[in-house]
Amino acid sequence: MKDTVVLEEYAKTRSRRIENLKRYGTIALFMGPFLLAFIVFFLYPLGYGVYISLTNFQYGRPGVENFNNFQWYRFLFDSSASSKLYESFWRSFLHSFIFALIMVPIAVLVPLGLAILVNLKPPGFKIFRSIIYMPSIVPLTAAGSIFTIIFMEGSQHGLLYEFFGIDTKWFIDSWFTFNIGSFKVDVAYAWIPIFLMCFWGGWGGNFIILNAGLQNVPKSLYEAASIDGCSKWKRTLSVTIPGIKPQLVLCLFTTIIGYMGLYGQNFVLSNGGPANSTISSMPGGGKTSTIIYFIQDIVANNDNFKTKLYGLGAAASLIFALFVGIITGIQMFCTRDKKTGFKISEAYQKWNKIR
């Protein structure tokens, strides 16, 4: 009898183990690769980046660094510590912020308008849909070559000069200047081809997402709105926009991150130039340099910067990541679904009693 009881307990224990293995083993099988990649390619680099930013790390000589009393952060936040590095960093940061501020609304609203028009399904709308998305499949370097040929100056036979006689030195001359506090911002003509290249090559992704979202808006809502006498504009604001809110939030989220991290278009078209005469010897010393360009100058583009300022690049990366995190957090908070709970029903009951 005793042996039978022990055998039953063993069978139950073994059955539970097999059941747990099947349940949690499957979860581990699917989550394992992601967690491993997350630790190796995100958590470890993040932690090591924080470590580098707090030490006098030297590229090529790891393991001999010491705590540097927040020296790299003082360079970025205290103009008296290194005025040129301070100016170069914040000019690059300002370039990124202003460009994103201008570009993000355009990069969301224009694809939204195109998606709404295509959703009306005019004759040939499938062809228009393909044409709108087509620039997004063009590689960055190929698009850069196209826009470089268009905007080359007259002596190099750029297409704008050949067809329209416009002989502007797009990648050399300044366009206009303005002041933000103590900073004099020198806006180069090169920002025009950069803007146009971003606009042309970037609307396709948002267009596809928003166009797909429009397919899921119930037609009955439009019919109800028409019966109530809503105009087309009112239907767009009251039915279309709320119906594709998740897609709009996604587009806004990815577009903010994408244009705050602008780098490739600047590199391909202007190589960060033209140079700013006062800080040309510093990382990010060009008139079209962005914050990512500042970081890339340190960690990849210049061996001298890489040897001496690697910790500065890590500090700038962390500050930039924190700023983008705050911006996206605010955006997610402002676009969240507002749950009122019982407030509306309670207010209705009070109103009904008063009536």
- Give the separation between CA 156 and CA 154, rounded to whole angstroms: 5
Residue with tokens 């000069």: 161
Is residue 200's pLDDT more than 90?
yes
- Per-residue pLDDT, 30: 84
344 band by pLDDT with thresholds 50, 70 and 90: low
Tell me what the mean pLDDT of segment 120-136 comes to: 89
336 band by pLDDT with thresholds 50, 70 and 90: confident
Q: How far is CA 302 from the centre of its chain?
A: 25
Task: Decide: 205 and 223 in contact? Cβ < 8 Å.
Answer: no
Number of H helices, E strands in the chain: 17, 2
Strand partners of residue 49: none
Instruction: State percent of the chain over pLDDT 90.
Output: 39
347 band by pLDDT with thresholds 50, 70 and 90: low
Among residues 244, 306, 274, 292, the alpha carbon closest in space to that of 112 is found at 244
Type of residue numbered 34:
F
- Per-residue pLDDT, 166: 86
124 band by pLDDT with thresholds 50, 70 and 90: confident
Query: Two tokens at 113?
Result: 């308008």
Calculate the average pLDDT of the chain. Answer: 85
274 band by pLDDT with thresholds 50, 70 and 90: confident
Each residue's pLDDT tens digit, 78-118: 888 888 899 899 999 999 999 999 999 999 999 999 999 99
- Per-residue pLDDT, 211: 92
Collect all residues with Cβ–Cβ distance below 8 Å to 266 and sequence separation of at least 6.
194, 272, 288, 289, 290, 293
Give the C-alpha distances (Å, rounded to integers) separating 238 from 111, 217, 227, 235: 19, 12, 14, 5
339 band by pLDDT with thresholds 50, 70 and 90: low
Is residue 155's pLDDT more than 90?
no
Collect all residues with Cβ–Cβ distance below 8 Å to 346 and sequence separation of at least 6.
none
- DSSP string covering 15-40: HHHHHHHHHHHHHHHHHHHHHHHHII
331 band by pLDDT with thresholds 50, 70 and 90: confident
- Per-residue pLDDT, 354: 62
Is residue 130's pLDDT more than 70?
yes
- Per-residue pLDDT, 6: 59
- Per-residue pLDDT, 346: 64
- Give the separation between CA 318 and CA 72, rounded to whole angstroms: 11
Q: When comparing pLDDT for 182 and 243, which is higher?
A: 243
Each residue's pLDDT tens digit, 55-83: 988 877 777 778 888 999 999 998 888 88
For residues 267-298, one letter each, b for 16 or more C-beta atoms within 10 angstroms of the residue's C-beta and e for the rest, the string is: bbbbbbbbebeebeebbbbbbbbbbbbbbbbb
Q: Between β-strands 174-180 and 183-188, what pairing exists: parallel, antiparallel or unpaired? A: antiparallel
Each residue's pLDDT tens digit, 291-330: 999 999 998 888 888 888 889 999 999 999 999 999 988 8
Tell me what the mean pLDDT of segment 214-223 comes to: 86
- Per-residue pLDDT, 177: 84
Main-chain dihedrals φ then ψ at residue 166, nearest 5 degrees: -85, 115
- Per-residue pLDDT, 285: 87
pTM of the model: 0.84
- Per-residue pLDDT, 340: 56
Instruction: State percent of the chain over pLDDT 70.
Output: 92
- Give the separation between CA 148 and CA 145, rounded to whole angstroms: 5
Tell me what the mean pLDDT of segment 240-246 comes to: 89
- Per-residue pLDDT, 93: 93
Most confident of 19-23, 43-47, 233-237: 43-47
Domain 90-270 has CATH 3.90.550.10: no
Type of residue numbered 296:
Q
Residue with tokens 């009881």: 5
Measured torsion, CA atoms of residues 34, 317, 206, 253, in degrees rounded to the nearest 10: 80
Each residue's pLDDT tens digit, 162-174: 888 888 888 888 8
Measured torsion, CA atoms of residues 115, 116, 122, 127, in degrees rounded to the nearest 10: 0
Every domain of the chain and the residues it spans: 1-32, 90-270
